[in-house]
């Protein structure tokens, strides 16, 4: 169900507990505080958490995300739940089916997706932390739950399988919700595929990293196409920008190579603020207040916790905290959003 004029000003904090367990602390103006409280004090309205089915480490699994949901709600923030439908990372280049779900036929797998999704939603509701928004799959431009739910570059192959699985996930969110959670489809395909298949969703989620997705003009063109085509709220649900170019971990940013940046947006906290404000401005220009907001990806992923056991962090230069956990001035990026008109 669409939440009228509700602005999404979010932070993905999925790695936070792993960092805390490794001994990292975070501070704002010299005072150590939980990150969710810091971002709430600086204008955030949402925190996003990813959910994996059976990950290699006990993070981003259901017990972990249930704990984080309590912290998010206690800080007065809303909760965006990001189902990956995978044991580990799912993105446009890989959407591996969880090991325990493999070799199921379409009907069985759709039933598994439905039951799992509904059970998860009900678990959050029972502890008093129902998600306010639910993302049914992560970056599913090329499908989900591969190989069965994979779609080709033109979307012509396995489209029935993909839509069957996605519809099962969406139906489970609707049926399991104790409130009318908004359903987000995180897909950035520019054609009319999703609209023509009549998905019952509320929000389009986009990823925008300029070094992968092109200049701001490309984003603006995509937004201008999507808004009238679907008449759905749009959230840039993943984005980030560097504050410096020297990672404080042995695992260097982007595997030792650095991204091509946007002209006029230097790698600095000020550059981060300008970048985020420009994205919000582009969203604010969409008709009928369809530009709903954005979520900064892994705002607190400073050096100290890697993707797997005994690996380093690769994201420290993109965070909104320095490598010692001190909030940068860019943590204030959401404090003045009156220009959006929501």
Active-site residues, by number, are 139, 238
Task: Measure the CA–CA gap between 85 and 28, rounded to whole angstroms.
Answer: 35
Q: In sequence order, which residues have a C-beta less than 8 Å from that of residue 206 and are 6 or more positions away?
A: 186, 188, 222, 223, 226, 234, 235, 236, 237, 238
| Composition of the chain by helix, strand, coil, percent to 5 | 35, 15, 45
Evaluate the omega torsion of the peptide bond into residue 209 and state whether it is cis, within 30 degrees of 0.
Answer: no
Q: Indicate the DSSP class of residue 252.
A: -
Q: Which two tokens stand for residue 254?
A: 């982007």
Task: Measure the CA–CA gap between 296 and 14, rounded to whole angstroms.
Answer: 11
Name the nearest CA neighbour of 38 among 239, 325, 316, 318: 325
Q: How far is CA 79 from CA 4, 45, 50, 129, 266, in A?
A: 17, 9, 11, 8, 31
Task: Measure the CA–CA gap between 298 and 125, rounded to whole angstroms.
Answer: 25
Task: Measure the CA–CA gap between 10 and 80, rounded to whole angstroms.
Answer: 9
Task: Measure the CA–CA gap between 50 and 186, rounded to whole angstroms.
Answer: 13
Distance between alpha carbon 41 and the CA centroid of its chain, in Å? 21
Phi-psi region of 25 (alpha: psi -120 to 50; beta: other; left: phi over 0): beta
Task: Measure the CA–CA gap between 314 and 16, rounded to whole angstroms.
Answer: 14
């Amino acid at each position: 169900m669409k939440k009228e004029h509700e602005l999404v000003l979010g932070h993905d904090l999925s790695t936070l507990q792993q960092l805390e367990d490794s001994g990292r602390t975070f501070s704002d103006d010299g005072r150590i505080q939980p990150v969710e409280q810091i971002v709430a004090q600086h204008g955030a309205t949402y925190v996003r958490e990813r959910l994996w089915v059976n990950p290699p480490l006990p993070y981003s699994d259901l017990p972990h995300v249930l704990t984080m949901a309590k912290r998010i709600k206690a800080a007065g923030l809303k909760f965006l739940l990001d189902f990956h439908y995978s044991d580990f990372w799912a993105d446009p280049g890989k959407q591996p089916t969880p090991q325990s779900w493999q070799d199921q036929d379409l009907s069985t797998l759709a039933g598994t997706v439905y039951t799992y999704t509904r059970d998860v939603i009900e678990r959050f509701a029972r502890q008093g932390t129902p998600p306010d928004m639910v993302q049914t799959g992560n970056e599913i431009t090329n499908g989900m739950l591969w190989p069965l739910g994979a779609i080709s570059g033109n979307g012509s192959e396995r489209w029935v399988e993909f839509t069957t699985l996605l519809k099962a996930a969406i139906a489970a969110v609707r049926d399991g919700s104790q409130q009318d959670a908004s359903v987000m489809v995180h897909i950035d395909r520019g054609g009319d595929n999703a609209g023509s298949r009549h998905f019952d969703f509320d929000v389009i989620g986009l990823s925008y990293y300029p070094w992968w997705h092109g200049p701001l003009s490309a984003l603006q063109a995509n937004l201008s196409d999507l808004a009238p085509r679907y008449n759905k709220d749009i959230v840039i649900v993943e984005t980030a920008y560097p504050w410096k170019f020297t990672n404080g971990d042995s695992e260097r940013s982007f595997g030792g190579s650095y991204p091509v940046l946007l002209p006029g947006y230097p790698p600095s906290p000020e550059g981060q603020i300008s970048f985020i404000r420009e994205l919000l401005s582009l969203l604010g220009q969409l008709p009928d207040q369809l530009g709903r907001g954005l979520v900064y990806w892994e705002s607190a992923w400073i050096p100290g916790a890697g993707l797997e056991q005994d690996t380093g962090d690769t994201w420290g230069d993109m965070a909104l905290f320095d490598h010692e956990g001190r909030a940068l001035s860019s943590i204030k990026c959401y404090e003045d959003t009156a220009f959006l008109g929501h």
